[in-house]
Amino acid sequence: MTKRIAVLTSGGDAPGMNSAIRAITLSALRSGFQCFGFFHGYNGLINQEYTELSAVSVTDITQLGGTILKSARCPAMLEPAGVLQAANALRKLHIDVLIVIGGDGSFRGMQALAAHWQGQLIGIPGTIDNDLSGCDNTIGFSTAINTATSAIDKIRDTANAFERVFITEVMGRHNGHIAYHVGIATGAEAIISFENCTAENTSQVLAHLKNAIEQQHQHGSFLIILAENLWPGGAQALKTELNSNADINCALCVLGHIQRGGAPSVEDRMLATELGIAAVEVVNGSIKANTEVATPVMVGKIHGAIVITEVEKVLNMDKPVSQEWVQRYQHYLAEQ
Amino acid sequence: MTKRIAVLTSGGDAPGMNSAIRAITLSALRSGFQCFGFFHGYNGLINQEYTELSAVSVTDITQLGGTILKSARCPAMLEPAGVLQAANALRKLHIDVLIVIGGDGSFRGMQALAAHWQGQLIGIPGTIDNDLSGCDNTIGFSTAINTATSAIDKIRDTANAFERVFITEVMGRHNGHIAYHVGIATGAEAIISFENCTAENTSQVLAHLKNAIEQQHQHGSFLIILAENLWPGGAQALKTELNSNADINCALCVLGHIQRGGAPSVEDRMLATELGIAAVEVVNGSIKANTEVATPVMVGKIHGAIVITEVEKVLNMDKPVSQEWVQRYQHYLAEQ
Amino acid sequence: MTKRIAVLTSGGDAPGMNSAIRAITLSALRSGFQCFGFFHGYNGLINQEYTELSAVSVTDITQLGGTILKSARCPAMLEPAGVLQAANALRKLHIDVLIVIGGDGSFRGMQALAAHWQGQLIGIPGTIDNDLSGCDNTIGFSTAINTATSAIDKIRDTANAFERVFITEVMGRHNGHIAYHVGIATGAEAIISFENCTAENTSQVLAHLKNAIEQQHQHGSFLIILAENLWPGGAQALKTELNSNADINCALCVLGHIQRGGAPSVEDRMLATELGIAAVEVVNGSIKANTEVATPVMVGKIHGAIVITEVEKVLNMDKPVSQEWVQRYQHYLAEQ
Amino acid sequence: MTKRIAVLTSGGDAPGMNSAIRAITLSALRSGFQCFGFFHGYNGLINQEYTELSAVSVTDITQLGGTILKSARCPAMLEPAGVLQAANALRKLHIDVLIVIGGDGSFRGMQALAAHWQGQLIGIPGTIDNDLSGCDNTIGFSTAINTATSAIDKIRDTANAFERVFITEVMGRHNGHIAYHVGIATGAEAIISFENCTAENTSQVLAHLKNAIEQQHQHGSFLIILAENLWPGGAQALKTELNSNADINCALCVLGHIQRGGAPSVEDRMLATELGIAAVEVVNGSIKANTEVATPVMVGKIHGAIVITEVEKVLNMDKPVSQEWVQRYQHYLAEQ
């Protein structure tokens, strides 16, 4: 039986979302399904702003950053009325399956919808922050860390020329996946992230940083990678405190939204393509979860295999940064 | 007890080799070991051309393509006399451990050495071709596929402007890891690789290609990714045959050595860093193989975990391209 | 009076063509003109395949390689019948001005049209080869040399790792603008181009190359930049001759069409924007040629100023590579 | 007669400085001169921290960001005692010619030196800000605008996905060369720079910005390029005011030091190479100023030709942003 599959991208956009849209569309068409795209995340669902997706509409999008379906936050989905409107729209348009590409907020939207709509709900993890369990990597993470690393390689050039201390703030919302990957990849001299720095130990971190800089700085530059949303008062405050407490003069760079854009890396294009195909295979039954799972589900990739996880579980589990890396840099900050 | 660890890079250079050298050096020093680097692969070992590696010598190399230790093929290692010279050099310099970063040819050199030298021999998989078992990815593979993909994104621009058929030859020696990754990542219309094309079925491949181009080409460009060392007469021959047999006029691009160079991707820097650390941890005993393994061994990463494999096994096992991908493109070539 | 302006892109596509289309469209609309785009170069003119261009149709195209209007060679324009069809189409569609972005072949098409159509014909130099007089640089040249240089920087990595001789063939049709720029920018050890190598002196060039390689190669890699369409038998023949005549083993890389694609450099975006604006200013009379010029004309930029030149003159004048650069490398090839 | 030439890089580092160092060194050696490099700008001169430069020391540096000679600000050169020390060092080391690559601060150092040292002083314009007269472009400017433009292309992706207003702050010290180039190249919807915004008209700029955003924002994203050191309270203040005064919610990105680093563009490598050669040709007399000029001088490139200008004049002349561009965007901000 032919089915009507709809897809939307929601929350912070992430490079690779277009590859997922393309894979869903092509796989759906090959399975004999119809495929639709809602614009602007859940807003387009509520407003019935959508388009039918064909092979032509997804030609030459896999290499593009952003999302052809646009994305948005949707406060209406936090209200019962909005959720009902969304459910009604799905019924009215005879949608059988809704695939949502996004992060935890977008997945909560799926949970809300599940109470009012009987169709199939499938999530695909798409966020540069990599802060979702049920998968090794989220779509967009690889591109974000490569973009940040290229930017910091440039900062290293000028830091070396001046033998200077630099604080570079990277994204990651409330975890250190980006900070640790970027820190290791750039050979940063220090990483300050949620995993090794809390509100309680900032003065200790400052003291260790001072020691590290004094000992290592003689032979060149010193790069500090700082996770966003962490330091009290922000990156600028850390710079000021290093200056006033330790007489260390830093330059500051907040990488910001450049980490969200750009052509996706091969890793993100592949992951998005595989997860898009997997989502359609869940629909046509060619792949199944190992155990019984309750809708909505998320498809992810863990250790090379496609894994289907209840969204409930995804939202309740943490995916911490490798303790080994944390220990290594903790040690570093603490003693060297 | 302090040990003397030596490292060399051998065979085709691969982006990320410098990250591995850096990680080995810093880990060795932290373990209280001395660390040496031989230049020009096994040639530097035979000629005792080497340097002691310090923290300063590996500063700011993680972001560099190529290898600071230089690389080379070493025909002398295929002769008993050369192997004996190499073994004698290791003895004379009181080396306890030799770490070799390279591909299958380099690993055969380790096997040859093992018969004449009692020290510890550890391999790290470094080749852009990803043609080594015992690991999911080799160092350099990620950068190579990202470089090739960026180049083909550019070719797509001009192919679209002219609505033209392009053959792009990618590296990979004798397997299709690069071809399939790059083909999927760029949304190529066809992939021709060892896995779906043999000397016996070239005329069938040509016929299918003709059909596919005729059916799809109306709405834009058509990209064919061709694995190197595959088509009889080379990429130019394929171009000529498509022209003479099917009246299809293609442009041709052989990506070549640009796939070997450039700043390593984050994925390659991380993998190389982890494997470099792991190699030293094998030396200091903090990680061990699950079962008894005979020297020489290789450290690799499989499904997120460090795995120690006998080099003998690495060389005797195949690591095929995902059959799922092959089927998908085979099907495509065959019927669409 | 409102005018109807049409634009087409013709011949080899060049990065920046989209910036020119955008600038023409926005300037035309601001001047109160209507703006149309023909697809596929002169073919779209002959077939009346076109679209009206609005501010929305040129949004977010300035950063894209290729051309949204597609390009093509058009053999029909070499025949009187084709030219007549094109002229009739312009009359039928009441076009007042035709702007052609392309190279010398495209400009010859304008000359042919001028004999059969009384409208205004304005050319904009768009070709990566920079082989048009009447301008310092053509649109696309800056991006092409930057792309080639980045690629050769990668080749330098692997050439250094192996201390190897590389021949890299670059585009340029029949002149050395790309070869000399890329050669100087990459610090190439030798440049072989039309300006310093002819059919008569190849054996001399080979001999000098042999000397240069022998003297310089000891301390690293040796890069030879070779202009396309130059060496008898092609780049492969040069490689073979260096091997057989001088026992020098080279690797070979033909950069090919990657030089045509990719996001345009700032320099190309700026130049294309300025020339697109200038073309419309020629139409609305706000800029004029210093002296009387016969239609068709080309707008170019020379020494920072917009210059209007008869297409006839453009096609009859040479724009040679800087003799200073040629001398420097000639000297180099000859004596060092 | 052989001469002893010394070179230093001073002030903010700029991509291409290494190409200039290489060109000076190779040209000096070819002229039979000796060549030395002082480290850390004028500090290395005062401290006599230097190295002799050979062909080998400048191999493979042309593609590197930063400067192998390091750079620094040097407060000591603002004091008579420091200048005297520097002059004495030049005498002690028998330096005949000092070439300084840097910006206006570095050139003031040359003027100070000239009062106490009889040797030849030659400046080369090296700063990403392009704020020096006597040349069309300074070394580093092309790379900086290309880097900023690539970053903003990424921001455009995410701005489009969210149909969002973005403020992006770019460098430029106290002029709008970077802001205008980057704004035009990215197709920014607004540019706010020294040339069209002063302390007196900020409320007017805000009002126009509000109108422009309201009229244009319906069909997509809206990018504002803001020059650094301009808006009272900084970029964050502009964001806050747009929010509180006009209920416009912007995202903010401060590009910062990534604009200083990275491999130089071809344009910067060529310019630096030509100016480096020219500086040595001034020394050996093969090029001369058109009229009598007083030392110190600067070599620059204007309209394709090498021009020698007194540093005094360079420091006293402005090099404004093209009034044509300013008018275009002023008009835009004011009325559209």
Instruction: Specify the CATH number for the domain of residue D242.
Output: 3.40.50.460
B281 at the A interface (CB within 8 A)? no
Nearest Cα residue in chain D from A260: D158
Q: Which two tokens stand for residue D221?
A: 């994203």
- Chain A residues in contact with D65 (beta carbon < 8 A): 154, 157-158
The residues of C assigned a catalytic role are 129
pLDDT (average), residues D54-74: 95
Tens of pLDDT, residue by residue over B206-234, are 998 999 898 875 668 999 999 999 999 99
User: CA nearest D168: which of D215, D219, D232, D238?
Assistant: D238
- Among C19, C189, C266, C271, the residue to mutate for chain D (most D Cβ within 10 A): C266
Per-residue pLDDT at A334? 42
CB D109 within 8 A of CB D10: yes
C307 touches chain B (CB under 8 A): no
Q: What is the 3-state secondary structure (H, E, C) of chain B?
A: CCCEEEEEECCCCCCCHHHHHHHHHHHHHHCCCEEEEECCCHHHHHCCCEEECCCHHHCCCCCCCCCCCCCCCCHHHHCHHHHHHHHHHHHHCCCCEEEEEECHHHHHHHHHHHCCCCCEEEEEEECCCCCCCCCCCCECHHHHHHHHHHHHHHHHHHHHHHCCEEEEEECCCCCCHHHHHHHHHHCCCEEECCCCCCHHHHHHHHHHHHHHHHHHHHHCCEEEEEECCCCCCCHHHHHHHHHHHHCCCEEEEECHHHHHCCCCCHHHHHHHHHHHHHHHHHHHCCCCCCCCCCCCEEEEEECCEEEEEEHHHHHHCCCCCCHHHHHHHHHHHHHC
Q: What pLDDT digit, counting tens, does each position of C94-122 carry?
A: 999 999 999 999 999 999 999 999 999 99
- Judge whether residue D302 has pLDDT over 80: yes
All residues of chain C having their beta carbon less than 8 Å from the beta carbon of residue B13 are 157-158, 161-162
The per-residue b/e assignment along C292-313, b for 16 or more CB within 10 angstroms, e otherwise, is ebebbbbbbbeeeebbbbbbbe
Instruction: Indicate yes or no: CB of B157 within 8 angstroms of CB of C260.
Output: yes
Q: A251: nearest CA in chain D? A: D257
Smallest Cβ–Cβ distance between D65 and the set A71, A154, A162 belongs to: A154
Strands B305-310 and B297-302: antiparallel
CB contact at 8 A, B226 and B179:
yes
Q: Are B256 and B269 part of one and the same domain? A: no
Q: Does C136 share its domain with C269?
A: yes
Does A328 reside within a domain? no
Describe chain D by its helix, strand, coil percentages, rounded to 5. Answer: 45, 20, 35
Predicted ipTM of the assembly: 0.95
| Residue A90 belongs to a domain | yes
**Binding partners of A (≥3 Cβ pairs within 8 A):** B, D
C234 Cβ contact list (under 8 Å, min separation 6): C169
Q: Using an 8 Å Cβ cutoff, are D194 and D176 in contact?
A: yes
Nearest CA in chain D to C272: D185
Residue type, C323: Q
User: What's the mean per-residue pLDDT of chain D?
Assistant: 94
Q: What is the pLDDT of residue B133?
A: 97
When pLDDT is cut at 50, 70 and 90, the band that residue D216 belongs to is confident
- Cα–Cα distances (Å) from A281 to A269, B275, D75, in that order, read 18, 35, 67
- Picking from A64, A163, A186, A266 by the largest number of B CB atoms within 10 A of its own CB, the best residue to mutate is A266
Give the count of alpha carbons within 13 A of A300, CB side only. 23
Residues 6 or more apart whose CB falls under 8 angstroms from that of C58 comprise C18, C21, C22, C25, C26, C68
For chains A and D, count residue pairs whose Cβ atoms are closer than 8 Å: 110
Catalytic residue numbers of B, as ranges? 129
Give residues with Cβ within 8 angstroms of D42, minimum separation 6.
D8, D10, D72, D74, D76, D77, D82, D86, D106, D109
What's the pLDDT tens digit per position in B276-319?
A: 999 999 999 988 877 778 889 999 999 999 999 999 999 999 99
A245–D contact, CB cutoff 8 A: no
- Residue C218's pLDDT is what? 62
| pLDDT mean values, one per 10 residues, chain A (336 residues) | 94 97 96 97 98 95 96 96 98 98 97 96 98 97 98 96 96 96 96 92 91 79 96 96 94 96 97 97 88 88 96 96 83 44
Give the residue with greater pLDDT, D109 vs C295.
D109
Cα–Cα dist D15/D63, whole Å: 9
Residue range C208-230: mean pLDDT, rounded: 88
Task: Establish if C270 touches chain D: CB-CB under 8 angstroms.
Answer: yes
D127 and D8 within one domain: yes
Beta-bridged to residue B99, according to DSSP, are B7, B122
Answer for the pair C326, C198: CB distance below 8 angstroms, yes or no: no
- The mean pLDDT value for B188-197 works out to 94
**Phi and psi dihedrals of A184, rounded to 5?**
-70, -40
The span from the CA of B318 to the CA of C232, in Å, is 43
pLDDT of the residue at B334: 42
Task: Tell me the residue type at A298.
Answer: M
Q: Cβ B157–C15 below 8 Å, yes or no?
A: yes
Whether residue A10 contacts residue A67, with contact meaning beta carbons closer than 8 Å, is answered with: no
End-to-end distance of chain A based on CA atoms, in angstroms?
A: 65
| Residues C126, C13 share a domain | yes
CA distance A111 to A97: 14
pLDDT of residue D336 exceeding 60: no
Cα–Cα distance for residue pair B275/B277, rounded to 1 Å: 5
* Contact yes or no for D160 and C60 at CB 8 A: yes
Alpha carbon distance B50, B69 (integer Å): 9
The one-letter amino acid code at A229 reads N
Does a structural domain hold residue C87? yes
Can you give the CATH number for the domain in which B298 is found?
A: 3.40.50.450
With a pLDDT cut of 70, the percent of chain B lying above it is 97
Task: State the burial class of residue A285 (Cβ atoms within 10 Å of its Cβ: 0-12, 13-18, 19+).
Answer: exposed
Are residues A182 and B146, on separate chains, in Cβ contact within 8 Å? no
* Nearest CA among D211, D213, D172, D216 for reference residue D195: D172
Candidates C40, C159, C261; nearest CB to B157: C261
- CB contact B335 to A (< 8 Å): no
Q: What 3-state class would DSSP assign to A145?
A: helix
Interface test with D, best of A258, A259, A265, A268 (most D CBs within 10 A): A258
B226 in contact with chain C, both atoms CB, cutoff 8 A: no
Give how far the C-alpha of residue C134 lies from the chain's centroid of Cα atoms, to the nearest Å: 13
User: D285 and chain C: CB distance < 8 Å anywhere?
Assistant: no
Q: Which residues of D are the active-site residues? A: 129
> Do C157 and C221 belong to one domain?
yes
Q: Is residue D33 within 8 Å of residue D62, measured between CB atoms?
A: no
Helices assigned H by DSSP within chain C: 17-30, 42-46, 80-92, 104-114, 141-162, 177-186, 202-216, 235-246, 266-284, 311-316, 323-335
Query: What percent of chain C is modeled with pLDDT above 90?
Result: 87
Instruction: State yes or no: pLDDT of C334 exceeds 50.
Output: no
**Nearest C-alpha neighbor of C226 from the set C188, C191, C185:** C191
> Under a CB-based contact definition with an 8 Å cutoff, are residues A61 and A17 in contact?
no
Whether residue A187 and residue B22 make contact (CB cut-off 8 A), yes or no, is yes
> What are phi and psi for residue A135, nearest 5 degrees?
-160, 150
CB distance C261–B147 less than 8 Å? no
Q: What is the mean pLDDT of chain B?
A: 94
Q: What pLDDT does B267 receive? A: 98
Query: Before B125, cis peptide (omega within 30)?
Result: no
CB contact under 8 A, B265 and A265: yes
Sequence-ordered alpha helix ranges (H) in C125-234: 141-162, 177-186, 202-216
**Lowest mean pLDDT: which of A222-236, A282-296, C178-192, D113-127?**
A282-296
Instruction: Say if residue C63 is in the same domain as residue C110.
Output: yes
In a domain, B335, yes or no: no
Tell me: do A130 and A277 sit in the same domain. yes
pLDDT tens for C30-79 read 999 999 999 999 999 999 999 999 999 999 999 999 999 999 999 999 99
Chain C: residue nearest D188 by CA?
C60
Assess if residue C335 is contained within a domain. Answer: no
Cβ–Cβ gap D262/A147 under 8 Å: no
Q: Using the beta-carbon criterion (under 8 Å), do A184 and B270 form an inter-chain contact? A: yes
For residue C222, the SS3 value is: strand
pLDDT of residue C335: 40
Single-letter code of the amino acid located at A308: I
Question: D47 to each of C199, D41, D82, how far by Cα in Å?
Answer: 56, 10, 10
Does B156 sit within 8 Å of C257, measured CB to CB? no
Listed by number, the residues of chain C in 129-158 with a beta carbon closer than 8 Å to a beta carbon of chain B are 147, 151, 153-158
Q: How far apart are CA C206 and CA A326, in angstroms?
A: 58
DSSP secondary structure code for residue D265 in this structure: P
Smallest Cβ distance to A270: which of B185, B219, B304?
A: B185
Only one residue has tokens 């702050």, namely D169
Is the CB of residue C189 less than 8 Å from the CB of residue C212? yes
Minimum-distance CB partner of A161 among D13, D153, D162: D13
CA D234 to chain centre: 21
**B93 interfacial to chain A (CB closer than 8 Å):** no
User: Shortest CB distance from D184 goes to which of C136, C220, C270?
Assistant: C270
How far is Cα C18 from Cα C22, in angstroms, rounded to an integer?
6
Whether the CB of C270 is below 8 Å from some CB of chain B: the reply is no
| Residue D78 included in any domain | yes
**Are both D133 and D274 inside the same structural domain?**
yes
CB atoms D63 and C186 under 8 Å: yes
Both A39 and A106 in one domain: the answer is: yes
φ, ψ dihedrals at A328, nearest 5°: -60, -45
Q: C217: pLDDT confidence band, cut at 50, 70 and 90?
A: low
Q: Confirm or reject contact between C179 and chain B (CB < 8 A).
A: no
Angle between helices A177-186 and A323-335 (to 10 degrees): 60
Q: What is the pLDDT of residue D219?
A: 66
Tell me whether residues A155 and D261 touch, CB distance under 8 A.
yes
Alpha-carbon distance of B310 to B292, in angstroms, equals 9
Task: State phi, psi for A198 to the nearest 5 degrees.
Answer: -130, 175
A193 within some domain = yes
Rounded-to-integer distance, Cα B9 and Cα B72, Å: 8
> Of the candidates C244, C260, C276, which is a domain's last residue?
C260
Contact C63 D156 (CB under 8 A): yes
Residues 192-211 of D with CB under 8 A from C: none
Same-domain check for residues B119 and B31: yes
In the predicted structure, residue D334 carries a pLDDT above the cut 50: no
Which residues of chain C lie closer than 8 angstroms to B67, CB-CB?
161
Rounded distance between C-alpha atoms, residue B24 and residue B34, angstroms: 11
Q: Which residues in chain C have their CB less than 8 angstroms from residue D59's CB?
A: 187, 219-220
Per-residue tokens: B326:
């092959």
- With CA atoms as reference, the chain B residue closest to A160 would be B60
Residues B249 and B280 in one domain: no
| A213 belongs to a structural domain | yes
Which chains lie within 8 Å of chain C at 3 or more CB pairs, if any?
B, D
- Could you tell me if C106 lies within 8 Å of chain B, comparing CB atoms? no
Give the full edge-to-edge strand order of the sheet including A97-102: A50-52, A34-38, A4-9, A97-102, A120-125, A297-302, A305-310
**Per-residue pLDDT for B8 more than 50?**
yes
What's the start-to-end Cα distance of chain C, in Å?
Answer: 65
How far is B148 from B132, CA to CA, in rounded Å? 20
Residue D180's domain comprises 141-260
Residue D267's SS3 state is helix
Residues D258, A157: C-beta atoms closer than 8 Å: no
Tell me how far apart the alpha carbons of residues A172 and B138 are, in angstroms, rounded to a whole number: 28
pLDDT for res D217: 59
| Residue B336, pLDDT above cutoff 80 | no
> DSSP character for C63?
T
Contact A161 D254 (CB under 8 A): no
C290-330 pLDDT, tens digit per residue, is 777 888 999 999 999 999 999 999 999 999 999 888 887 76
B213 and B192 Cβ atoms separated by less than 8 Å: no
Residues of D in contact with C270 (CB under 8 A): 181, 184-185
Instruction: Compare CB distances from A13 to D12, D71, D161 and report the shortest one's residue.
Output: D161
Of A214-218, B89-93, C153-157, D100-104, the range with the lowest mean pLDDT is A214-218
Domain count, chain A: 2
Question: Mean pLDDT throughout D62-88?
Answer: 96
- Are A53 and A150 part of one and the same domain? no
